[in-house]
A and B are shown apart, each in its own frame.
Chain A
Amino acid sequence: MTQRSSIPVVVVAAVTVFSLVAARNWAQNNEVNVQFHGFQDTRGVTVLSPTVDLSQDFTERTSLRLNFGVDAISAASDSCARCHRDGIRSRRQDVGLSVTRKFDGLKFTLGGAYSQENFYRATTALTSVSRDLNNGNTTVAGGFSFSLNQPVLHPTLTRENQNASDAFASVTQTLTRSTIVQAGYEAGRISGYQNNPFLRANVNGVMVLGQVPDLRTRQTVTARVRQALPSETYLEADYRHYFDDWQVTSNTLNLGLSHHFSPQFLLNASYRRYSQTGASFFQPEYTGAIPVYFTADFRLEPFTSNDYIGKVIYTPRGLIAWLPDGTGLTLQYERYQADNGFQAAIFSAGLRVPIKIFTK
């Protein structure tokens, strides 16, 4: 039922953004991207996520981006299933808006996002700036965001506050006619309520809500490469190193190859390996003296995962039905397998529609 009611909302949103685009009259380059994602995991949870994303130029220097998405969830978590044995459905809606203004080589973005679900809401303000240097061969970027996250401690009506600040800086450099690299650093600070109100830990045989520190500082370093190879083939390689003061450390490696089989067909295959250590206070269960901090949150346990992704992008020559030239269709399938027993399959389909409107 939740899924059925979500899809018309997205259709209405798509029609609305199309109408907005059609009402404009000056020269511009706009794009509507409609995507549908399906997620299913070994717990039997299914999440259907339609999204609509509109990018629109208002002037030569000012553009707007609007996105709307829904997550229709068949069962919110393992803990929900304990109380709702027939399953429980939930829905999350999120909307985001940002405005970008260009000043010569400088690009400044200001935006916000809001999401709402049954027992959680998040309000975010974000800003970012980037500057092209060295004849466009170097791009320096930075940004900051602040989120107020507010979980409700179901089944009570108590609402808690969590503040999350995040800042990043990156440098993108064109090395040669066929190589681009990027280095980035990101730091985040989360304060306030950070327990998961839906997950309980086994402490001396009693299931109780976990207790975690109310402050967390996170840091991330990234190094990324894009390399053009012969025969219309492209290599992508991304590395991420993460560490925080809960003693979680992780390493993520992404490797991918893309090949243009024709101007219309692009095939991409990629692999992601992720490995993390557990939080210093994580244990599967606790016996004896009760420690200050304890949790059964599966995200804080040590594990390794492998993710296999295949993607096809079809950009037909000429028109598809009534859609304009340049419309692209994307199909993606992903298989995620972790050594803690969790597995998931994710399917995504996307339709990207460029809309060019010229001054009369």
Chain B
Amino acid sequence: MTVTLTRALVLAAAAAATIAAGGCATVQPWQRGRLADTCMVFDADSGQVAYMTHWQEAREASAGGYGVQSGGCGCK
């Protein structure tokens, strides 16, 4: 029951954040200087992210959360 409730709360929080975010003020292109830094880009180094995700999934039961999954491997 507690687990179900936690899941429901997490999903509700994510949904609320998504809906709330839609109403944010628009940032104009000339105001995006710092947003353009690679540090602000999610998964900027996709090759490194793919490698780290690969070996972590070889040791952990969880997977996903960073885009569509590629195929399995004998290490999993």
Contact = CB atoms under 8 A, between A and B. Distances in A.
Contact of B48 (A220, A221, A332): A332
Contact of B71 (A149, A170, A198, A243): A149
A128 B61 contact: no
Contacts of B64: 166, 168, 186, 188, 218, 220, 242
A164 B69 contact: yes
A299 interface: yes
Contacts of A46: none
Interface string B6-35: 010011011001100110111111011111
A276 interface: yes
Contacts of B7: 241, 243
Nearest to B19: A171
Given A164-B69, A181-B21, A188-B69, A226 B40 contact: yes
Contacts of B63: 188, 218, 220, 242
Contacts of B37: 228, 234, 260
Contact of A136 (B3, B29, B60, B62): B29
A342 B60 CA distance: 11
- Measured as residues with beta carbon below 8 angstroms from the partner, the interface class of chain A is 35 or more
B59 to A, nearest CB: 7
B3 A243 contact: yes
B47 A164 contact: no
Given A137-B24, A348-B51, A186 B35 contact: no
A198 B76 CA distance: 10
Contacts of B14: 183-185, 221, 223
Interface centre among A137, A138, A236, A268 (most CB of B within 10 A): A137
B47 A276 contact: no
A92 B73 contact: yes
Interface string A98-140: 0000000000000001110111101110111000001111100
Contacts of B33: 177
A338 interface: yes
Interface residues of B, number: 54
A166 B65 contact: no
Interface string A321-345: 0000000001010101010001010
Contacts of B55: 39, 47, 344, 346
A147 B69 contact: yes
B61 A252 contact: no
A76 interface: yes
Interface centre among B33, B37, B51 (most CB of A within 10 A): B51
Contacts of A200: none
B59 A92 contact: no
B24 A173 contact: yes
B32 to A, nearest CB: 7
A177 B48 contact: no
B60 A117 contact: no
Contact of A182 (B28, B32, B42, B60): B42
Contacts of B60: 250, 274, 276, 299, 305
Contacts of A166: 64, 68-69
A319 interface: no
B13 to A, nearest CB: 8
A297 to B, nearest CB: 8
| Among all A-B residue pairs, the 3 with the closest Cβ atoms | A122-B71, A120-B74, A173-B21
Interface of A: 33, 35, 37, 39, 47, 49, 51, 53, 67, 71, 73, 76-77, 90, 92, 94, 96, 113-115, 117-120, 122-124, 126-128, 134-138, 143-145, 147-149, 151, 162, 164, 166-168, 170-178, 180-186, 188, 198, 218, 220-224, 226, 228, 234, 236, 240-244, 246, 248-250, 252, 258, 260, 266, 268, 274, 276, 279, 298-300, 305, 330, 332, 334, 336, 338, 342, 344, 346, 348, 350
Interface of B: 3, 7, 10-11, 13-14, 17-18, 21-22, 24-29, 31-35, 37-42, 45-48, 51-52, 55-56, 58-76
